[in-house]
Amino acid sequence: MKTFLAFVRKEFYHILRDKRSLFILLGMPIAQVLLFGYAITMELREVGFVVLDNSKDSESKELIQRFQASGHFYLVDNLEYEEEIHQSFQAGTIKLAMVIPANFSGNFGEGKATLQLIADGTEPNTATTLVNYAQAIIRQFQLDKGKVDELPFGIEMNTRMVYNPALRSVYMFVPGVITVLLMLVSAMMTSLTIAREKELGTMELLLVSPIHPLMIIIGKVVPYILIGLLDASLILAIGILVFGVPVLGSWLLLFTVVVLFILTSLSLGILISTRVDTQQTALMGSLVALMMPSVLLSGFIFPIESMPLPLQVIAQVIPAKWFIVILKDVMLKGVGLQVIGWETLVLAGMAVFFIIVSWRNFKIRLG
Amino acid sequence: MQTIWILMRKEFRQIFRNRPMVFILTLMPLLQLIILANAATHEVKNVQLAVQDDDRSPYARRLIQKLEASPNLILAAFPRNPQAAFALLENNKADLVLHIPAHFERDFLRNRSGELMLQVNAINGSQAGIAASYVGAVVQDFRMEILREIEPGALLQASGPRIEMTYSNWYNPEMDYKTFMVPGILGELVTLIVLMLAAMNIVREKEIGTIEQLNVTPIFKYQFILGKLLPFLLIGLFDLALGLFLGKMIFQIPLEGSLLVVFAFCVVNLIAVLGIGFLISTFAETQQQAMFISWFFIVIFILMSGLFTPIESMPPWAQHLTIPNPVAHFVEVMRQVLLKGSGFWDVRDNFAVMAVMSVIFNGLAIWNYRKQT
């Protein structure tokens, strides 16, 4: 036990004396949560648009004024010719163009005015959203200008947004950032440190030392469990204190599943390190096999339900997918183990499986 | 020239004799392109809807039938009471719960207006809004149908100043997300691979000790840097060409603009990226450190690139932060040129920024490298 502790201390020295890595290990979660919380939103404001106003009368000018006052759009240019629309889109400063035909005021009074909206459809959701914004502005303009009769038999929808009434995107990013960071610290770092000892040749020294090989591996991963826990706490703290993300469920349950996920990731990292010889391959391997799927196929940014079937199937074997579901449920819904029992079981099963596989792959001798 | 050529050959040999590395440089980006293009979608499909129908009237049944017919909605369950309905939401069995109150039909006909309740799991805020709008559209449709049956005259009578709106979506009329994502992803992948390779390269020589040998060989600094720079530049261009070819073959992405502009921008962009990579490389002592620092920047570069979330939706200070971001420029140029057919003049700002960045970062890298030897 004493030799084991000495070994863990050695690993801690390795990490602590490398100030740059340490700084990043602790600075990265902070930077990411702040970025996600403040900068990454799906809401659109102040999008550039152009107008081709063929009537230039009081009504059309007022409509343009309303677009600018809405907060969603700002007028980049008043065009003269139709060809300029294409050029404006190509210059990349606008996302929407509005064409107002001649004699707009006159036609409007007679109830037969027309308008054309052209959206930059390259990004479908943005295009749809902008057209919706524009239509709402135009509808309001009509309502204010005259009496549009309200039709009977309207149905009012009382919509209640549960778990995230303000529709804040940070609610969904905090669990995601925790997941990706734990994956990075636990899996990537572990595979790199072991590959490093191999590459530098110090692994042989460790293997001939009187410590059991299993103890070497455990000793190597213990510091990363602690760093992982520290990072998770840091992200949670910023999420709660700065952005008001709630933790409705039990803290004990939350940290238990965090430890479970760290164990799963660590065993994955060890598994990768048993298969590679250089840090470069270890890095690229964990990047492809772990980081990319954890970001893309875990439901962190993109909804799994909307993906094609093969990707939905692949998503089922990604630990991050299950962990994110558990985190969201415990933090934002405040449910207990009875609801997330199955997900936790799957995650635990994965941890056991990866530990066994990497144990069988672990060779005591090199070369 | 001869010396640079020999140095390049050395680099290529070192890369190609490492089998996993060859795989990582060729197949991996393609695999990612295919997976990413399919995964990276903000479309909201297969929304699980539960309906708590307390009315059980012909109208309620008709509404449910219409909901069932909606392509994006899946009727998952019919809970009997509010507790059961909420449990579905809690257990992720349903994304939406629609409540049709008792006497809905009776009140609807009597009051000439009705009311429905919709609960949405809003953890993913932007998705929640779209999912709710699917139900809203069906309900609206249902209402118009009823109106036409009961009071067909009401539609004609309603008059007043009206504007007929038409709208069209240019450059991507099918509204296909892949058309939008593939060019951007390609830009991101090429940048990422080259940055990683460059950042790890000199550090590796340092860590293994071979940098000493290079330092005592009779070559000039510029030869050394060029010999390191050119192979990665070529790999990046190769990956771009491969990706464009596949994007065209598999995803039918349009190639509206000039490919020359795309490749020219790629060169300028990659020189800047290589500069950043080498700067990290001279700064770090171990590959692990280099990996960490570059990972830190890559994550920020990608998140702030407009690849997954529009730059327009960021607050102004964050939009300014995207100016020195090579990924943001690459993604923008790819989309502009490939999808809209923008020419060199339209993207001149992007060229200018990246040219300045190239000079700054390569200068810093050379300066910092010199300092240490």
- Chain A hits for B42, CB-CB cut-off 8 Å, are 42, 124-125, 302
Are residues A182 and A232 in contact, defined by beta-carbon separation less than 8 angstroms? Answer: yes
Are residues A318 and A294 in contact, defined by beta-carbon separation less than 8 angstroms? Answer: yes
Give bridge partners of residue B50 from the DSSP assignment. B77, B97
Q: Is A211 left (phi over 0), alpha (psi -120 to 50) or beta?
A: beta
Nearest residue, CB atoms, B162 vs list A142, A164, A288: A142
B254 has pLDDT over 80: yes
B8 three-state secondary structure? helix
The pLDDT value given to residue B267? 93
Nearest residue, CB atoms, A18 vs list B47, B167, B289: B289
The pLDDT value given to residue B155? 65
Q: How far is CA A322 from the centre of its chain?
A: 15
Average pLDDT over residues A306-332: 90
Handedness of CA B120, B121, B123, B126 (dihedral sign): negative
The interface predicted TM-score of the complex, written ipTM, equals 0.75
Q: What is the 3-state secondary structure (H, E, C) of A160-216?
A: EEECCCCCCCHHHHHHHHHHHHHHHHHHHHHHHHHHHHHHHCHHHHHHHCCCCHHHH
Average pLDDT over residues A78-84: 87
The pLDDT value given to residue A355? 86
Residue B344, C-beta contacts closer than 8 angstroms, at least 6 positions apart: B258, B261, B264, B351
Asked if the Cβ–Cβ distance from B308 to A27 is below 8 Å, we say no
Task: For residue A349, give Cα distances in angstroms to A55, A266, A330, A356, B373.
Answer: 69, 14, 20, 11, 52
- Chain B hits for A121, CB-CB cut-off 8 Å, are 169-173, 175
One-letter amino acid at A344 equals T
A42 has pLDDT over 70: no
The pLDDT value given to residue A326? 92
B250 closest CA partner among B35, B60, B96, B61: B35
Residue B264, C-beta contacts closer than 8 angstroms, at least 6 positions apart: B344, B351
Predicted confidence (pLDDT) per residue in A327-346, tens digit: 998 998 888 888 888 999 99
- Chain B hits for A155, CB-CB cut-off 8 Å, are 108, 113-116, 139-140, 142-143
pLDDT band at B52 (very low <50, low <70, confident <90, very high): very high
Predicted confidence (pLDDT) per residue in A95-147, tens digit: 899 999 888 888 887 777 888 888 888 877 778 778 888 888 888 888 787 65
Eight-state DSSP code of residue A305: G
A286 has pLDDT over 70: yes
The pLDDT value given to residue B264? 93
Exposure string of A333-355, with b = 16+ CB inside 10 Å and e = fewer, is bebeeebbeebbebbeebbeebb
Q: How much helix, strand and coil, in percent to the nearest 5, is found in chain A?
A: 65, 10, 25
The pLDDT value given to residue A43? 66
The pLDDT value given to residue A279? 78
Q: Please identify which residue in the block is written with the tokens 């006909």.
A: B109
Residue from B89, B288, B298, B347 whose CB has the most chain A CBs within 10 Å, to mutate:
B288
Residue B341 CA to residue B343 CA, distance in Å, equals: 6
Residue A320 CA to residue A340 CA, distance in Å, equals: 15
Residue B326 CA to residue B268 CA, distance in Å, equals: 10
Q: Please identify which residue in the block is written with the tokens 């809203």.
A: B136
User: Given the DSSP bridges, would you call strands A47-53 and A73-79 parallel, antiparallel or unpaired?
Assistant: parallel
- Chain A hits for B338, CB-CB cut-off 8 Å, are none
Give me B359's structure tokens. Answer: 């000079």
Handedness of CA A234, A239, A240, A242 (dihedral sign): positive
Q: Quickly count: other Cβ atoms within 10 Å of residue A57's Cβ.
A: 16
Asked if the Cβ–Cβ distance from B32 to A135 is below 8 Å, we say no
pLDDT band at A319 (very low <50, low <70, confident <90, very high): very high
Predicted confidence (pLDDT) per residue in A266-279, tens digit: 888 888 888 887 87
Asked if the Cβ–Cβ distance from B35 to A28 is below 8 Å, we say no
Q: Quickly count: other Cβ atoms within 10 Å of residue A129's Cβ.
A: 23
The pLDDT value given to residue B50? 93
Predicted confidence (pLDDT) per residue in B142-162, tens digit: 988 888 888 777 666 655 556
A157 three-state secondary structure? strand
B371 has pLDDT over 70: no
Residue B294 CA to residue B277 CA, distance in Å, equals: 7
Predicted confidence (pLDDT) per residue in A180-190, tens digit: 888 888 888 88
Residue B158 CA to residue A148 CA, distance in Å, equals: 7
Average pLDDT over residues B102-107: 90
A37 has pLDDT over 80: no
The per-residue DSSP string of A3-63 comes to: HHHHHHHHHHHHHHH-HHHHHHHHHHHHHHHHHHHHT------SEEEEEEESS--HHHHHH
Asked if the Cβ–Cβ distance from A280 to B200 is below 8 Å, we say yes
Eight-state DSSP code of residue B311: G
Asked if the Cβ–Cβ distance from A117 to B165 is below 8 Å, we say yes
Percent of chain B with pLDDT over 90: 23
Nearest residue, CB atoms, A328 vs list B123, B142, B291: B123
Q: Quickly count: other Cβ atoms within 10 Å of residue B20's Cβ.
A: 17
Give me A27's structure tokens. Answer: 């600075």
Q: How far is CA A323 from the centre of its chain?
A: 14
pLDDT band at A8 (very low <50, low <70, confident <90, very high): confident
Helix H or strand E segment including A232: helix A213-241
